[in-house]
Chain A
Amino acid sequence: MRIILGPLIALGLCAASAAANAASASSPAAPIPDFAGIWWHPSLPGPEPLASGPTTVTNRSRRNGTSDYGQLVGDYTNPILKPEAAAIVKKFGDMSLAGTVYPNPANQCWPEPVPFIYKNFGLQLLQKPDEIIMLYEQDHEFRHVRMNQPHPAKLKPSWYGDSVGHYEGDTLVIDTIGTKADQPFPMLDLYGTPYTKALHVVERYRLIDYEDAKDGLERNRKENFTAGPGLDPNYRGKYLQLTYTVEDEGVFTTPWSATITFGRGSDIWPETVCAENVHVYYDKDERVPTAAKPDF
């Protein structure tokens, strides 16, 4: 017995070494989903209302059965809204009905808080072990998400808030608090739904098959105006599903959720510069008040 131990030990060491090399060359123990590449959703205002349960404010103004992006009248009767918040949403809706395009972070070139920022059609996630960078298509907006860390005890409010993340199996979970509320356009959607410093958003991203994506795509088709140029409608590969939950006791009667389903399409990442005002709505620029001459 003893005489065969030498070569066996040598081969065993060899095999162990090869296995170790293979292990170190492959992914770590818990597989991390790969979200690389450009993701697109096609729609405005964007979120997919849930089929049931507390969910996002939607547009009372319809065009061909879906949200009329040219007339944003948020449904102020949505039971998620506290009375004061409902009054604000109604005020903006009345402005829209009167033909006024009210200012929001996007059309005024300000940073867009979470979840307003989902208005962007394009999304890229750069995954690093210690952080994730989320790049959005318009006006060079990006967010940093610190991985596997708690929120600081003392938080200075900021435009995108403090985002920390971790993986739960195949799902990236991002928790955001500390979003600056004392700003000119404190809105978390295009209907002007307000928020306070108590805003808390949890985002959950995971890859799903087309069959599983159909539900969200269908809810999107029923609700939203499709405008985005990026998504290939015939795409049948993996989709990226975002499910997010919003809490803000200053504004909402209850936590609510919605989804956005991202797919693949264009590889071109356009440069959209807000200062340049290249945004076109219904084939014309918004009629922004313009002074003919300076008065200074």
Chain B
Amino acid sequence: MRLALATIAALALCALAPAPAAPAAAPPDLSGFFSRIGDLWFDAIEGDTDGKPVDRLNVDSPDAEDIWAGDSANPILQPWARDIVKRNAESEMRLQHVYTADDSCWPSGVPQAVNLLDVVQFIPTKDRVTILYQRNHQVRRIWLNVPHSRNPKPSWYGESVGHYDGDTLVVDTIGLKAHKMSVVDAFGTPHTEKLHVVERYRPYATPFGKRLEVIVRVEDSGAFIGPWKGMAEYQQEKTVKQFEETVCAENNRDFGEGTTFGTIPQENAPQF
């Protein structure tokens, strides 16, 4: 009996010994490589009370596939922004492509970076999540669990802070530079330096493998009459083991291949 008691006492002491601290709630698993799937613009979210993203116009033309014209009738647009979307659409209808940041080797900004083709990698570390875009080797940094600075200097990717909300990475971005090439979607919808974007990245399992739901909420009282929300999706690329190089300066992205927009004006001789 004494023996049994001693053994029980020893085990009890063991049980009372401090256990290794349980890890905090696990952050969402964003590991691996992802690619954008679906259309390269934001889908509206059914039933959501915010405004809807600018949608692509249905065009009745043999070249319809190559015409990326936004619907300027979207009531979310301020008049000056509507004019730009309309002008872009008319240019596209004339088969004169409206060159975007991605076409022209500029950073794509937020939230348009979500619409980039090619592979994307999320690298969580202790104080930040780094997002790498294969397309023209672009980088974003999301600083975790810190507030925004008081007056961030405007930049192409702005100032992004984030946190984990259960199974979701939430990214809040301000300080985005307003530039003619800095737009919020594939239709050249402009923004001002009041732009405020919240992205929510949530991984989920499907029969086709892991996917990443991305919901963006966009506010910019300079360009929109109210906030709007859109959705996009990434698919995990299980066969991709490392980035390839997609170098804009090299124009190795097959831009214009087989499209009516392939002819980029070129000078035959320098003027100087």
Minimum CB–CB distance from B130 to chain A (whole Å) comes to 6
Give how many A-B residue pairs fall within 8 Å (CB-CB): 102
Question: Once the chains bind, are A17 and B14 in contact (CB under 8 Å)?
Answer: yes
0 or 1 for each of A249-289: is its CB under 8 Å from B? (1 = yes)? 00000000000000000000101010110000000000001
- Tell me if A273 and B267 are in contact (CB < 8 A): no
Say yes or no: A146-B249 contact (C-beta < 8 A), given A126-B125, A294-B267.
no
Q: Is the CB of B139 within 8 A of A11?
A: no
Minimum Cβ distance to chain A for residue B151 (Å): 14
Is there contact, CB below 8 Å, between B137 and A141? yes
Instruction: Give the residues in chain B near A111, CB-CB below 8 Å.
Output: 137, 245, 247, 249
**Cβ of B272: which chain A residues have Cβ within 8 Å of it?**
289-291
Interface stretch among A2-10, A74-82, A166-174? A2-10
Q: Are B249 and A108 in contact (CB under 8 A)?
A: yes
Question: Would you call B40 an interface residue if the criterion is a C-beta within 8 Å of the partner chain's C-beta atoms?
Answer: no
Q: A269-B141, A289-B270, A289-B272 are in contact. Are A159 and B123 (CB under 8 A)?
A: no
For residue A155, CB closer than 8 A to chain B, the reply is no
B245 adjacent to A294 (CB under 8 Å): no
- Assuming the A-B contacts A6-B3, A14-B10, A108-B249, are A271 and B157 also in contact, with contact meaning beta carbons closer than 8 angstroms in the complex? yes
CA distance in complex: A140, B242 (Å): 18
Contact A275 B10 (CB under 8 A): no
**Minimum Cβ distance to chain B for residue A269 (Å):** 7
Least distance between A242 CB and chain B CB atoms (Å) = 21
What number of A residues sit within 8 Å (CB to CB) of B?
A: 46
Does A273 contact B156, Cβ atoms closer than 8 Å?
yes
The answer to whether B11 touches A14 (Cβ under 8 A) is yes
Determine whether A144 belongs to the interface, using a CB cutoff of 8 Å to chain B.
Answer: yes
Q: A177 CB to closest chain B CB, in angstroms?
A: 15
Q: Cα distance A292–B20 when bound, in Å? A: 69
Docked pose: A109 CA to B105 CA in angstroms: 9
**Cβ of A211 < 8 Å from any Cβ of B?**
no
Q: Is B259's beta carbon under 8 Å from chain A?
A: no
Q: Across the interface, do B132 and A291 meet the contact criterion of CB distance under 8 Å?
A: no
> 0/1 per residue, B10-22, Cβ < 8 Å to A?
1101100101100
Q: List B79-106 residues whose CB lies under 8 Å from chain A.
A: 104-106
- State the Cβ distance, A169 to closest chain B Cβ, in Å: 23
Q: Assess whether B20 is in contact with A291, with CB atoms less than 8 Å apart.
A: no
Q: Which residue of A lies closest to B267 (CB)?
A: A295
Q: Closest A-chain residue to B127, C-beta based?
A: A36
* B243 beta carbon closer than 8 Å to chain A: yes
Chain B window 251-272, contacts with chain A (Cβ cutoff 8 Å), 1 for yes, 0 for no: 0000000000000011110111
Encoded as 1 (CB less than 8 Å from any A CB) or 0, chain B from 100 to 129 comes to: 000011110000000000000001011000
Contact A3 B3 (CB under 8 A): yes
Q: Which of A4, A11, A25, A108 has the most CB of B within 10 A?
A: A11
- Min CB gap B149→A, angstroms: 10
Distance from A36 Cβ to chain B, minimum over Cβ atoms (Å) = 7
Interface residues of B in 1-33 (CB under 8 A from A): 2-4, 6-7, 9-11, 13-14, 17, 19-20
Task: List 19 contacting pairs A-B, 8 Å CB cutoff, sorted by A.
Answer: A6-B3, A11-B10, A11-B14, A14-B14, A17-B14, A21-B20, A36-B126, A109-B105, A109-B249, A133-B123, A140-B138, A142-B137, A273-B106, A275-B104, A275-B105, A290-B272, A294-B267, A296-B265, A296-B266
Which are the 9 A-B pairs with shortest beta-carbon distances? A14-B14, A10-B10, A289-B272, A6-B7, A7-B6, A271-B155, A296-B265, A291-B271, A7-B10
Report which A residues bind B (CB closer than 8 A).
3-4, 6-8, 10-11, 13-14, 17-18, 21-22, 24-25, 36, 108-111, 126, 128, 131, 133, 135, 140-142, 144, 146, 158-160, 269, 271, 273, 275-276, 289-296
Q: Give me 8 other A-B pairs in contact (C-beta within 8 A), A10-B7, A36-B125, A273-B107 excluded.
A: A3-B2, A8-B10, A109-B249, A111-B245, A126-B123, A142-B139, A158-B245, A271-B157
